[in-house]
Amino acid sequence: MKKTKVAESKILEHALVPKHEIMSEAEVKELLDSYKIRKAQLPKIKSSDPVCKEIKIKIVGKKGGKNKTAEQTKEKERTAEVGDIVKITRQSRTAGKVFSYRLVVE
């Protein structure tokens, strides 16, 4: 049987998997302030979670010389790391679109 590497890269498209996004630092601060909570109080998601390995966040390249462009493009994306907060857009049965947050842990 022919096997293609489908599942690895496409799990994010599966009907059971809601949209996951890594939040930027500013967004995280806003979230924590608005609920007056600490990061540790959020539900958790493991860094080994298959979705965590797939989602990426764009990083704004540091201001540097023009000769560093190659490095910058490399660093533009990264996957979820421990300490990040993942914003999850769920489709709720009762309330339409619902945002939920999970803290990435070991």
Closest approach of Cβ 84 to other proteins, in Å?
13
Choice between 46 and 61, CB closer to other proteins: 46
**What is the rounded distance in angstroms from the CA atom of residue 53 to the CA atom of residue 11?**
11
Choice between 15 and 26, CB closer to other proteins: 15
Closest approach of Cβ 37 to other proteins, in Å?
14
Q: Which of 89, 25, 97 is nearest to 51 (CA)?
A: 89
- Binding residues (CB under 8 A) for other proteins: these are 1-7, 10-11, 13-18, 20, 43-46, 49-52, 88, 90, 92-94, 102, 105
Residue 105 DSSP label: E
Q: Which of 33, 85, 78 is nearest to 54 (CA)?
A: 78
